[in-house]
Amino acid sequence: MILKQSKIVASDECFNLMGKMMANSPLLWAVAFIQQLDPLAGLVSASAFWSTVVAALPVIVLFWLLVVSRWSAPLAGAGATFVAGILAYFVYGTPLVVVSMAFVNGALFGLLPIGWTVFNAMLLYNMTVTTGQFEILRRSVAGLSNDCRLQAILIAFAFGAFLEGAAGAGAPVAICAAILVGLGFHPLQAAVLCLLANTSPVAYGGLGTPLITLTGVTGIPTEVLSTMAGHQLPLLSLLVPAYMICCLCTLKQAFEVWPALLAAGGSFALFQYFFATMHNYVEGLVIYPMTDIGGGLFSLVVTALFLKVWKPKEILPATGGQMIPTSQHQADELTAGKVAKAWMPYVLMSVLLLLAGIVKQKEGQGPVEIIGSFKASYKIPLPGLHEEVLRDAKLHDSSLGEQKKEKAEFNFIWLTAPGSSVFLAALISIPLLGMTFMQFLKVLRETIDQMTVPILTIMFMLGLSYLTRYAGMDATLGVAFAQTGFMYPFFAAILGWLGVFLTGTDAGSNALFGSLQKITAAEIHSAGIFQHLSLPQAEVLICTANSTGGVMGKMIDAQSIVVATSATGQLGKEADIFRAVIWHSIFLASVIGLITLLQAYLPPFTYLVPGYLR
């Protein structure tokens, strides 16, 4: 190991700031740390290459422990975190307080909102199973079709897209995978289908949070980014349902339901395109935040209505799943009232998620006060980390003004976290489902036992990703991709894919690499490579590719895989799911990369790239 001294920001302003911070908390013993893109510079030959290898080691270790050695997810995460911490301290010169608090920051984010959301999604599901309402819900979906291909389209794709738009944070995979298992799908099969389906809607997840985040780090208007995403993702939205069904059955069996695939994918793709770009046609009508919510519902309704007039010639039932035991009442004929009662918890959840999303959007303009001075969320600066880290100067975009220190605030979103809406829906559902309070407590205890290990795993994985981010390892990997020159538009999408794998969210990837993407686009444009695009257009295309390519990494990030194993009762089988989806993830990310290449160099595809006033 090579010990390097951390760089220090030697300025009166920095020392004054540090003095104030240290006076406020005895824990602040770190100095401002400047990340290094090439920590081995001057120490070894080909230092950039070896620095990239060092930066990649935590990811390689995680992959080896999880997939090859088949360690449990928590142990694999702990092992990779230990390696990352050693490299951060000895090679990158990261102060110990930054290393430790970066892990804490990620772990807290893994707990809230992600772990909180997954826990309550499972709680609500367990409540419906215990009361027998899930069997009615299952039968109501089977009433539309008892064909597993069509059930997967309705639940994993359409309903999952709605949940992604309203909540995100693992809710689509957790809820939809649990429903599919209840419908008779094999747990591994259900997990893979939901991970595949939760791709093309992700850029607009959480009411457009990833694109809004990308605006924050690039300065490009969100409406322009949304337009660019709207010129890429609808094609994938049209294809993803068919791709998903081809993974469920044979190509011949998938072709048998092509009309339903066209209805589901086509309706969502059209809705996604128009809502993502509507502001270009109707001035002042900015509705991109509702793209997934409206698109998911539209696809669900259109497909359900279509199935009223069209049926496949042969029914393909789900096989290998664990069906919910039938009670003495479940053989009764379904009535509209019974079906409404069974779906009511999820209807309540959807409404509450939508309302919380509206409040969350207002939070982007400043704190939202609920009662008096009581706020909907509180940002808590983490001592020793908040504004104590600076990116390498090469990653700074001078057009955005003075370089800012990296923020590290735990956002205690007690109200607008998706899990809070789901938990409130669960509480309201207690009398609606006919549960006693003691029954609810029993289900609550069972859910706590069920979710303890998964949530700990999520916390470890997010802690690892945040550690690599604040140490600067992620930036080293990003710069390595930027050396690909003419092929960079392709690798811009792959870099976004890598960012989601590391951070667990498309928004996190955009925050991680968005600024780097903009800087690299300007560098490549100055070299005369983009002959058909202006500088603003090149920046829009490359930055958006970070988000649209990133969505394909959603199916392989640790957070999503652990959520999938938790929802389908497959704890300890994370490696099996990873192996099942990794090549699909790489292939679909490459498709986005190829689309970006076409739009970068080949007319008329270049005409689809909007510009903006810098």
State the pLDDT confidence band at 129, using cuts at 50, 70 and 90: confident
pLDDT value at position 271? Answer: 92
Structure tokens at 543: 């930055």
Strand partners, 369: 375
pLDDT value at position 98? Answer: 93
Distances (CA, A) of 42 to 6, 47, 50, 51, 566: 15, 7, 12, 12, 47
Residue 67 pLDDT exceeds 70: no
pLDDT value at position 329? Answer: 42
pLDDT value at position 166? Answer: 60
62-66, 253-257, 273-277: range with lowest mean pLDDT = 62-66
Q: Percent of the chain beyond pLDDT 70?
A: 85
Calpha distance 27→29 (Å, rounded): 6
pLDDT value at position 16? Answer: 40
Residue 383 pLDDT exceeds 60: yes
* Per-residue DSSP letter, 395: G
Residue 147 pLDDT exceeds 60: yes
Residue 159 pLDDT exceeds 90: no
Strand partners, 378: 412
State the pLDDT confidence band at 396, using cuts at 50, 70 and 90: low
Calpha distance 396→604 (Å, rounded): 33
pLDDT value at position 99? Answer: 93
Give 595 or 19, the one with higher predicted confidence.
Answer: 595
Q: What is the dihedral of CA 331, 332, 337, 343, to 10 degrees?
A: 0
Over range 391-400, report the average pLDDT.
Answer: 67
pLDDT value at position 90? Answer: 94
Over range 348-367, report the average pLDDT.
Answer: 73
pLDDT value at position 10? Answer: 38
Calpha distance 435→344 (Å, rounded): 14
Q: What angle do CA 45, 476, 225 make, to 5 degrees?
A: 145
pLDDT value at position 326? Answer: 41
Q: How many CB atoms are located within 10 Å of the residue 223 CB?
A: 18
18-27, 104-113, 245-254, 309-318: range with lowest mean pLDDT = 18-27
Most confident of 180-184, 424-428, 470-474, 576-580: 424-428
Q: Percent of the chain beyond pLDDT 90?
A: 18
Give 148 or 392, the one with higher predicted confidence.
Answer: 148
Question: How much is the mean pLDDT over the chain?
Answer: 80
pLDDT value at position 93? Answer: 92
At 187-208, the pLDDT tens digits run: 888 888 989 988 888 888 766 7
Measured over the CA atoms of residue 122, residue 204, residue 457 and residue 424, the dihedral's sign is negative
96 Cβ contact list (under 8 Å, min separation 6):
89
At 293-311, the pLDDT tens digits run: 788 888 988 998 998 888 8
Strands 389-390 and 409-412: unpaired
Over range 262-271, report the average pLDDT.
Answer: 92
Q: Report helix, strand or coil for 31.
A: coil
Over range 97-117, report the average pLDDT.
Answer: 84
Cis peptide before 454 (omega within 30 of 0): no
State the pLDDT confidence band at 398, using cuts at 50, 70 and 90: low
Residue 609 pLDDT exceeds 70: yes
pLDDT value at position 395? Answer: 66
Distances (CA, A) of 597 to 542, 600, 603: 10, 5, 11
Over range 402-414, report the average pLDDT.
Answer: 79
Residue 490 pLDDT exceeds 90: yes
572 Cβ contact list (under 8 Å, min separation 6):
72, 73, 565
Residue 2 pLDDT exceeds 60: no
pLDDT value at position 8? Answer: 38
At 320-335, the pLDDT tens digits run: 544 344 444 445 677 8
Residue 459 pLDDT exceeds 50: yes
pLDDT value at position 588? Answer: 92
Calpha distance 109→216 (Å, rounded): 19
pLDDT value at position 1? Answer: 37
Predicted TM-score (pTM) of the model is 0.68
Ordered by start, the domain boundaries in the chain are: 99-318+327-608
Calpha distance 183→181 (Å, rounded): 5
